[in-house]
Structure formats: structure tokens, C-alpha cells
Chain A
Amino acid sequence: MAESNTLFGKAAVLEGLGDHPAVKAIVAFSSEALCDAKFDFGELTLTIAPEQIRAAAAAMQAAGYNFFEDLTAVDWFPASPRFQLSYHLVSHTLKERIRLRVLLDEADPAVDSITPVWAGANFYEREVFDLFGIRFEEHPNLRRIMLPEDWQGHPLRKDYPVEGYR
């Protein structure tokens, strides 16, 4: 399965890795939800439309990617769309890891929480909310987690300085 070559673009991945369980699952779920895909450094990345992430996560869970491992964000400031969310899922049976990616615009970045699918995403979503200022709709307790409640700004954004005053 894990070819050493790299594939960029939805069409290339659908053709080259058509029988990959995650690719099959996302195509069966909705091929419109899949915006982009790549296979790079031996890792499969599927870019999902933001409004579809919860349903796509549930589809992945049903396809055997039963373990939610990690969620974080990347700030591509000043590019647009500015924010990228990276979800890492592991399959205990297939012994494999995939990455779901969501791209969000700068203005009022918000996405559906995946806590109904994996309760363990709770802390991760709070962390991203705290450090990037991305909101997760229907999160049970969307509060700052690392920083004090009255903190101003979101430190992991690229327009927040590494040292000195804000």
C-alpha cells in the first residue's frame, strides 16, 4: 500500500490509491466533501470541506480509523485561506495513520466540533481554540485551556510575536 512515490491532487490520489481504505471510505461518503488530497512522505492527507468534517470523521471512524490521535492547527498568515486544521487518525486494525485537513478563512474561523464522534477531541479543540482562536461549534466546554481566562490574543498565530510585547 505505502508506495514511496508522492501523489499530489485529488485526481492523482483517487487514481493511484483508489483501493486505500480511507480513500474508498471518503469516496463512498461523498466525493464532493473531498476537496484535495496528497500522498507525501508516506502519509495520506485528505482535505475535507469545512462543513463536512464531522460527518467525514464519522465516516472514517466507520471505515476502521477508530482512534483519534491528534488535532492541531497551522496558521498560513498572510495567505488565504489562513488556517489549516490537521486531524490525525489511527486505525488499530489496519495499523495505519491518516490525516484529515480542513482549510478555514481568516474571518471568524469556526468549524463543527468532532466531540460527538470522539469525546477525546475535547481537550484538543480547546487547545486550538485557546492558541489559535478557532471556534468549534457545539463543543461542550469551549474555554481556554492553557492560558488564563483573561488572556488577550492567540499566541500560536503568526502575527503574535515570539518575544517582546504584543
Chain B
Amino acid sequence: MSNPAGMPVLEPAEGARDQHMVINMGPQHPATHGVLRLVLEIDGEIIVRIYPEIGYLHTGIEKTCEAKFYHQVVPLTDRINYLDPLANNLCYALAVEKFLSLEIPPKAQWMRVLLAELSRLNSHLIWLGTHAMDIGALTVFLYTFREREDILRLFEAVSGQRMMTSYIRIGGLALEPPLDFLDRVQAFIRTLPEKIDEYSNLLTGNPIFRNRLKGVGILSAADAVALGVTGPPLRASGVDFDLRRDMPYSSYEKFQFHVPVSNDCDCWARYEVRLIEMRECIKIIQQALDGMPEGAVKADAPKIVLPDREKMKTQMEALIHHFKIVTEGFDVPAGEVFQGIECGHGQMGYYIVSDGTAKPYRVHMRYPSFPTLQALEPMCKGRMLADLVAVIGSIDIVLGEIDR
């Protein structure tokens, strides 16, 4: 290595010392969406190199998981991608359920789809608001956060928490949704299409927004695949792959939806793909509402799923199970599983290794923003510094999931 001391200093390239400059963007820059530090080598205003410095939010969640019982890991997962909390819960729950071969009741599966899509809408609304704000269109942020607030109220109604929901548990859901929950979701999605039209009216025809995004941040399909980019940025580069459709989980195969793909490969394509995706989310939620099955929301596995409060207080056996699960956890067969799902930013995956005890031997989370960050340099090289802001906004990163 040319840097034996291992210090993260980026010197200007050899032979360009008096022409190039090295500057820091972040960790406190508002356009980096958290604490991302980019060390940039620039030639005037042209970007020559980008070196992302990450780890400012590293909390060692993977290590913490190894010291917890399987069900105690659920609340840790929310905190990784805090903009798409239910997708985290869902992915973890599906991975553990794969080990246990649990039969999840249809109502729980449909509720999971509904909540995952609401969560995706939440993620996309934040992306749209902050992305537009980075470009200079401040108004959109106020509108998207108005709708986001409605989604957070729905999360609160169903789980008691606005952001850190922990509502999807191993074996089903934490508890029955409130009686008027589905009506409230229906009322929300009835008005949403015209709200999305409203955002589109503000942005799509806006010449400043257009010029800032069109032809900026080109990422070819080959580069996107080679660098591990997933989700909307991958589909905006012309690769038609969506885990919900191609490797379905949690009964997504029973829903009809369209996966938007664009061949333009630029920031504008990512904007368009996500906007269409939001409309598709509404279609999926509508199908989930229309076909919501009746029945239980928890699997029939008394040694794994916590009993209802009522039963726990009236039945001896339920009380024993409750006590055992809380104090000793439950054993999971030895082996390893990987469960991938499509979250708002791309492919999320949980890799769990079990040694047959009640605590996971190893939990690894694959989060989409981490590899996507590697695509920053190919997208921005040779472009103006100001384009970097547009590109960071368009790949929609969350630092919580990069650093973990």
C-alpha cells in the first residue's frame, strides 16, 4: 500500500499537486443526509476522485445481536434503516422463520405486505422531500412531510410507535391492528394519488429541477451490477430486477404490480422510477385492503410466539410459555440462512448463523446503501461539484444502514 501509516489522507494525484485540491464534504454537510464524509479531489470545480469515509454511526449492532435472544433482536433492526422501519422487522422475521419453518397465517402475511408498502412510501416521501430540497425546491419537502406524518400516525396507531415500530415479530405481528386501522389506511391512500400529482406538478415541469437532474450521474447497467447497486438506482439503469416480483416473499406473488424500469441511467431516471414506484405502492396497498383475509395474526407456535395478554393472565400454560420465552428464549436449529427483501432503497438481506442455541451465533445485515455508495465515484467523476449533491440525493442513502 502506498500509505503505510494507513491514514485516510487523500493526496492529489502525482503530477497534479499544484493544480488539484483536496477538500472535505461532510461529515456535517446538509446534503450528505447524515454523517457521511466525502474526501474530494477537485480540479477547479471538476471532481477527479471521491473517497467516502464512513463509520461515524457505527454502533456494532451485529455484535450486539450475538448477545441477545432471537426476539430481542427485533427492536435493534428498526434502528438501522430508520426511514423504512417495517422492512427491517420484516426481513429479520422472515429469516428467523425460515429456520423454524413457521406457518404464518394469511392475515399476518397480508398485513406485512401492507405495512411494508406503507413503509416504502414513507422512505420514498422522505427521499423526494430531501432530494428536492438539496436541489433548491424547498416547498416539496413541506408537502411530502405532511403525507409522511399521516403514515407515521398509521404506524403509531398499529404499533404504538411512530418510527421504531418493532411491529412485525417472529411468527407474525405483535398484536391485532386496531379496529379502524384498515379504514384509516383506505382514507389515506384514497387521497395520495392526487398528492403525488401535486409533487409531480411542482417538480416534473420545473426547468431548474430538470436541468439539475437530466444527464447527471450516469451509471451504466454494467457498472450498477458490478458495484452491487440495487433497488430504484439499478432499475433506473435499465436492469429489470425486483425481489418482490422475482424472488417473492411474504405472499408478494399474489399481488399484481408493475416494476418501473428506465434506460436513461441518470438522476432524472431515478426520480421517475421512484415516482412510479410510489403509485405502484398504492395499488399494492389497495389490493391488500381489498383482499385482507380474516383470522389470526400470529402463528400457532406457543413456544416461539408470545401469547396474547388475555391468555397469559388467565391460562397457566400460556403463562409458562410466556415466562419461558422471555427468560430463556427459544432454540433455533443449527445452520445458516439468508433472507433478502426489497426495501425502499434496494435489496436488504439478513444472514443469520445459528449454532442451535437461543441466541444467534452471527447476524449480518446486507443493506443497499452500503454498496451503492461505491457507485458515487463512477457517477460523478469528471462532473461539476454541484452535481454531486444531486447524485447523493438521487441514490437515496441512509447512513444508519451504511455504518450499522
Contact = CB atoms under 8 A, between A and B. Distances in A.
Interface string A136-150: 000001111111110
Contact of A69 (B54, B58, B239, B340): B340
A67 B64 CA distance: 29
Interface in A122-166: 122-124, 131, 141-149, 155-156, 160, 162-163
A74 interface: yes
Given A40-B335, A41-B335, A97-B247, A146 B362 contact: no
Contacts of A70: 338, 349, 351, 364, 366
Contact of B362 (A68, A69, A74, A155): A74
Contacts of B228: 67-69, 118, 120-121
Given A41-B98, A118-B228, A162 B362 contact: no
Interface string B1-26: 10100111000000000000000000
Contacts of A143: 1, 3, 6, 8
Interface centre among A66, A120, A143 (most CB of B within 10 A): A120
Contacts of A52: none
B254 interface: no
B47 to A, nearest CB: 18
A131 B362 CA distance: 13
B226 interface: yes
B326 interface: no
B21 to A, nearest CB: 21
B72 to A, nearest CB: 13
Interface in B257-278: none
Given A40-B335, A69-B349, A74-B362, A147 B55 contact: yes
A42 interface: yes
Contact of B63 (A90, A95, A148, A162): A162
A36 interface: no
B301 interface: no
B227 interface: yes
A86 B371 contact: no
A60 to B, nearest CB: 14
A67 B229 CA distance: 9
B7 A149 contact: yes
Q: Which 8 A-B pairs have the closest CB atoms?
A: A120-B228, A72-B364, A70-B366, A146-B55, A120-B227, A146-B58, A95-B246, A162-B67
Interface residues of A, number: 43
A68 B62 CA distance: 21
B69 interface: no
Q: How large is the interface on B (under 10, 10 to 19, 20 to 34, 35 or more residues)?
A: 35 or more
Interface of B: 1, 3, 6-8, 54-55, 58, 60, 62-64, 66-67, 98-99, 225-229, 239, 241, 246-247, 335-338, 340, 347, 349, 351, 353, 361-362, 364, 366, 370-371, 373-374, 403-404
Contacts of B64: 162
Nearest to A84: B353
A97 B340 contact: yes
B338 A123 contact: no
B340 A156 contact: no
B351 A72 contact: yes
A66 B338 contact: no
Given A42-B98, A72-B364, A88 B351 contact: yes
Contact of A162 (B6, B66, B361): B66
20 contacts: A42-B98, A67-B228, A69-B228, A69-B347, A70-B364, A72-B364, A86-B364, A88-B351, A92-B225, A92-B239, A99-B338, A119-B227, A121-B228, A122-B374, A123-B374, A124-B370, A143-B1, A146-B54, A162-B63, A162-B64
